[in-house]
Structures are given as C-alpha cells and as structure tokens.
Chains A and B, each alone.
Chain A
Amino acid sequence: EAGVAQSPRYKIIEKRQSVAFWCNPISGHATLYWYQQILGQGPKLLIQFQNNGVVDDSQLPKDRFSAERLKGVDSTLKIQPAKLEDSAVYLCASSPGISGNTIYFGEGSWLTVV
C-alpha cells in the first residue's frame, strides 16, 4: 500500500515569496491533516479536512497560510508571503476517518525561508 506522498521534499525561498506544498493521502482516506514542525519541537496541527470540508483550522495563520482539498483527495498548502519564522517541516497525514483509526504521516516538506 502506497503511503502519504508529499512534494517538494525541500524548498528554499526568500522572505515575502510564496510557496506551495502538495499532498496525496493514502487511497480511500477521508481525513487529511497538515502539521507544522519547527526544529526541536513536536508537530503542531495547522488544519484538518474531512473529505473536502474543513473540520478545524483554528491554528492556521490565515493571513498568510491557505489550504484546500478539492475533490476530497489531494491537498495543497500555500504560504504567501513567507516569513523567516515559517521555516519548518510541513507534514501531511491521513486516516480513514476522524476517530478510531491510525493516522499515517508523509515524509514532510522542508521549508527554509531566508
């Protein structure tokens, strides 16, 4: 079974530029998560989707971050404009449903803002 796919794996941009990350969850998984992990810290949830609807985006800095999951499968996370403090690993995860199911993570997209 294929895992959660993410791209790009690494990205370096200048502050105030924009960047987009793509995630393809495990086939059939209805729930998709985006996490941000700053170096030395545990992952922090940014947004949770159930199919193509947002369940929770309370931790998403909406002035610069946006995410969508059109058609309830792939998802993109965009940052515009980027700040230095956005340097982090962006992890996508998926699970068959909201509760009672294991959540599987992708390898992450490493962002460096200079």
Chain B
Amino acid sequence: DAGVIQSPRHEVTEMGQEVTLRCKPISGHDYLFWYRQTMMRGLELLIYFNNNVPIDDSGMPEDRFSAKMPNASFSTLKIQPSEPRDSAVYFCASSYLAENTDTQYFGPGTRLTVL
C-alpha cells in the first residue's frame, strides 16, 4: 500500500481565498483524522471520522473550517475564507481498529501558507 496520501504537499494562497486539502487513507482503514501543526501550538486534532461519519469535530477552530468524507477512500478539509493564522502543516492520518493495536499512520502533510 502507498500509505496515506495527501495533496497538495504545499499550498500558498492569499487571505480570503478558499483552500481545499485532500486525503486518501490507507485502504481498509476505518478511522481518519485531520491534524494541524504549528510552532506555537504543536499538533492538534481537528476532526476525526469513523466509517465516513464525523465523530468529534470539537477541534475545528471556526466555522471557516469544514471537513467531509464522502466515501471510505477520500476526505477533504476546506478553509473558506482562509486567513494568515491558518498557516500550518495539516496532517491526515488513518487507522484500523483491531484488538490491541490502534496505530495511526500519518500522511506527509500539506504545508499551507496564507499570505
């Protein structure tokens, strides 16, 4: 398997623009997580899905952020409108719930810069 795939790897946009980040989890995994990493706050969980259903979105910072998982092989994180403080690295991770293991596999991340 190719692992968790994220696109784009880098995104530079101007304040006010819409940004869409994409994630393809590992085939067969039933959990998908979106994280944000900044120097100030470190890693933070934004939202996670189980079987395509959002379970906990309490980490989503504002209504400007939304996430969807239309099927088991694809998820998007959208920011509209984007602001400079949204600049961060956004990671997607997936996992498969099995007895005694809950390893999360991280994608390479998308580095977002909002000017």
- Whether A associates with B in a native complex is no
A interface residues (Cβ-Cβ under 8 A, vs B): none
